[in-house]
Every structure is written in C-alpha cells, then in structure tokens.
Structure 1
Amino acid sequence: MKSANLLKSLQFNTLISGECGTGRHTLAAYMMPDIPVVHADDPELYSYIENSSQIIIDRLEKAESFGRLSQSIKKRGTKVVAIAEDISALGSFESLFSVKIVLPPLQQRPEDVPMLAKKFAEEAKRMFAGDENGEVFKPDLQNVDLSRNAFSLRQSVYLQYFAARMGREELMLLNETYLSSRMNEGEDIYRRELFLYEVPLIRAGMRAFKSQLKMSHAFGLNRNTLRKKITEWKEYL
C-alpha cells in the first residue's frame, strides 16, 4: 500500500497482474480514484486514451494490437494503470510499464484473509439484515474456500451467514430444492442421498462431544452403529 501511495503522485505506468479475485481492480482504483476503467478490447479505447490524462486498462492481454496501443499511450503521454491475468502474452509490450506489481493468490496471503472476511461479513449484514452493527457475526476462517480468491471467500462468508440464521423450515426447503433435482437419477435415491442428513449430524456431534461414547449417548445409538456410520461416511468427515 505504501508503494501504491507513492505511485499516485508519480508519472509511471503500472502493470498489475495476478489471478482473478486477488485485488487487482481494488488496487488500481486505489491508485487512480474516479478514473474510468476501459477494457483493452473496447473499440473506444483509443478515444479514451486520446482524451484522458489517466486511464485504467483492464484485460490488457485482450488488446488487439500491442504495437498500436503502445504508440497511442506514448504519443498522448497518458498515465496508465493496466490490469492483466496472463502477462505471458504481452511480450515486449511489458517494457511500457516502469512498475510491475504481481498480486499472489489469497492462499499465499493468509494475513489478508481475516480483514477480507470481516469486510464480507459486514457486507452480508448490511445487505440482508439492513443493519451493519446490529448483530454479531464472526466467520469461521477454518472453513472458507480460497480456491477463487476473494470470489470464493465472499461466497463462503455469505453461506456461513445464512447457515447461522436458518431455521428448520428454511433448511428443509433448501434440502427439498436440492433433492428435487435428483429425483431422476435412477434407483436407490434414498440410500444415496442419506448422507445429506447423517454427515452434518456426525460432524456437529464430533465438534460438540469430542468422543464417540458421548455421541452415542446423545444420539441414542449404540457405539457399534455409530462407528459404522462414521466409517461409512469417512470421506466427508
């Protein structure tokens, strides 16, 4: 962020690369607030360059002609912050950018996950409860999906938010909606889909009771039956 603050005041072209959801657009907007974002394959791109002193170019690798784009930027002297996912296609065009920032995936930036999760939690409360400060909701960071960076993290936080507020009726409706789409998948449907009930129950029991003996008493099952269920669904536990 210190580098971003410094670059705001300098006439350097900056290339920001990384996977989708790593914060490329957020960083570009921070460096150039209130500056239009134009896709590299937009037919109006050269008009924007001609009439703007600053511009954010998204999807840089989609540009039709890097040579023409480079000439246009140099001729006008437009300050550019460009966003790309695949920089291998840029070739010598990369040399147009004095500063290159590579944003690693969130899986390599665990220190950023709590801050983003908190942001998405507040977003969920504001969007669905209408009150950002009226309730306590703390996401479980041990059970979030970072496979698509901020996109999957937001989805995980939203899902946790809804799950924590679901009653029996909402949960049954959710299951019914899912199961309705499975009714044409041949025979043995009951047996095949039974894990939707048993796996969450066993998971919750493991967290709550910490031992199979206590679980068996609470569930009203003998230990052998419980052990068989745990073995049967071990791939989900």
Structure 2
Amino acid sequence: METFFTKSDKIQHIIKSFNLTKSLFVSSIIIGEAHTGKKTLAQYLFPDTPLVSGNNQKEVEEALENNDELIITNFEKLSNQSSLDFSNKRIIATADYMGNPELIDDIFAFIYAMPSLQERPEDINYLKELFIKEASSTLMIEENTFESDDIPLNLTKNTKSLKRSIYIHLMKHSIDAQDIEGILYHYLLKHLDGNDGYREHLGLYEKPLIEAGLKKFGSQLQLSQVLGINRNTLRKKIHEHNID
C-alpha cells in the first residue's frame, strides 16, 4: 500500500475533498508538475483501485470497459481524450499539465491543482530525511559522517531532483582516491578528443584543488605555500578557472 506524507494545507484540502466524494461515481483529476507525488497520492487514497497509464490509449479503453473505478496516470498523453466514456464510473486521473482546459472541464467534475515541492516547504524536510536514510543505506554510509544541513537541495524537478541532489552529495563525501580516479577515467575515455586535450581537461584537477584550498586555508599566500607554487602562478590559475 502506498503511503503519503504531507503537512501542506493545499494537499490536505485535496485529500479531504476526495474523502468527501469517495462514495460518488464522479471523475476527478489532479494536475501538477512531474514528480510532485500525484500518482502516489491517488494510490494512497484508492489503494485497491486498478491503475493504467495514459501512454497507451488502447489499454486505457480496455481498462474502462472492465472496471467501474480506475486510476489513469499521464492523462495528458492520451491521444483521444474526448472518446473516453466515464459514465457511471469513478475515475481518478493525474496529469502534468492541463492540455485542453475546456475538454478537461467537461470530462471531470473535480479538478485539483497539485502544488510543486517549492510551494510545500513544510514537506521538504521530511522528504529530505527520508531520502538521506535511503541513500545512506544504499551507499552504505554512516549518517554521522556528514552534515545533513550542508546538503544543497535541488528542487527544480521536485522529488526527482531532490533525491538526486542528496545521492550525489553523499556519494561525493564517501568516495576515495581510487573512486575519483575511476570517475575521471570513464569521463576522459568518453570526452578526451581534439589537439589540446591535456590543457583542456587539466581544470578537472586544478579547479577543485584551488577552490578546496582557498576554502580550507582562506589565504592565497598560505595556499601557494601548501601547493608549492608561487603566488603569481596561483593568481593566474585562479583567473584562468574563473574562481571567485
């Protein structure tokens, strides 16, 4: 059974509205950006209801013939929405965008707007902690080896980018020198080309080395001594790599 956690007032309103109309044979649609939890919410509210994807018009039509209650995901991808017959059926659809507003308004009795993750700051911390535990378990990392507050969160693609940003951050903090060599090897194997490859890709090593050194020591003079290069050379490389 799907679970769905939220402290968002907007989503709580959607849940309450669905609960009030659960006994009615009406059609409803949840519209919002991708990876906001629309499908999970629909399955949480209707755990025993069959689900079909709008990626396949024929499968949707067959499911409608055989079921009085149905969840249709990716509704916007159906090639012929107007041909569907929702009479005397309870349909719960999800879509990433509205499509034809007049048609949507004609087909569905209830239209709900799913807020993006950026509009649900109260949910972000819960999902962050959930993904941290998942990533720590998957990557076999002890949670006390990193500061969760230091993780830069990417919300541009909602839960997808949030989860990815957490995994990447934890990977960065768990890999060793051999892992880094392997990453660089596969990157260079794919991208090494041209007539000036050495100079072109040297920044992969120099830039993070200088950036980390400046953050750690806070002084160009001290960093030049640690790196064993003179200060003018360090300044030149800082300028070459556009380091602030």
Bin the TM-score by the shorter chain.
Answer: 0.7 to 0.9
Aligned ranges 1:127-206 → 2 under 5 Å: 127-129=138-140, 135-136=143-144, 137-139=146-148, 143-183=152-192, 185-206=193-214
TM-score, structure 2 as length reference: 0.80
Gaps of 5+ in 1: none
The partner residue of 1:73 within 86, 104, 110 is 86
Separation (CA, whole Å) in 1 of partners of 2:116 and 2:214: 32
1:122 counterpart (130, 133, 141): 133
Seen in structure 2, the aligned counterparts of structure 1 residues 2 and 145 have a Cα distance that, compared at 3 Å, is closer
Q: Percent identity among equivalent residues?
A: 33
3-state DSSP class of the match of 2:225? helix
Q: How far off is 1:167 after superposition?
A: 0.8
TM-score by length of 1: 0.82
Task: Tell me: CA distance 1:9–1:104, structure 2 relative to 1, closer, same or farther (3 Å).
Answer: closer
- The 3 A distance-change label for structure 1 pair 34 and 225 is farther
Seen in structure 2, the aligned counterparts of structure 1 residues 233 and 45 have a Cα distance that, compared at 3 Å, is same
Number of positions where the alignment pairs a residue of Structure 1 with one of Structure 2: 228
Q: Deviations over 1:169-217 (max 9, x none)?
A: 111111111111123x211111000111112112222332333334333
**Are the structure 2 counterparts of residues 203 and 213 from structure 1 closer, same or farther at C-alpha, using a change threshold of 3 Å?**
same
In 1: Cα distance, 2:123 partner to 2:190 partner? 38
One of 48, 54, 63 as aligned partner of 2:69: 54
- The gaps in structure 2 that reach 5 residues or longer are 1-10
Instruction: Find runs of 4+ consecutive structure 1 residues off by over 6 angstroms.
Output: none
Whether 1:209 aligns to 2:217 is yes
Answer whether contact 1:19 1:105 (CA < 8 A) is retained.
Answer: yes
Residue deviations 1:12-42, cap 9 Å, x none?
5321112222222222222222422212334
Q: CA 1:84–1:220 in 2, change beyond 3 Å: closer, same or farther?
A: same
Residues 113, 38 of structure 1: alpha-carbon distance in 2 compared, 3 angstrom cutoff: same
Q: Distance in 1 between matches of 2:114 and 2:225?
A: 51
Q: Deviations over 1:102-150 (max 9, x none)?
A: 2344345444433322222211123232x8xx53354466633333322
Kindly report the root-mean-square deviation, in angstroms, between the aligned alpha carbons of the 2 structures. Answer: 2.6
Partner of 1:39: 53
The answer (yes or no) to whether the contact 2:68–2:89 under 8 Å persists in 1 is yes
CA 1:202–1:95: 2 relative to 1, 3 Å: farther
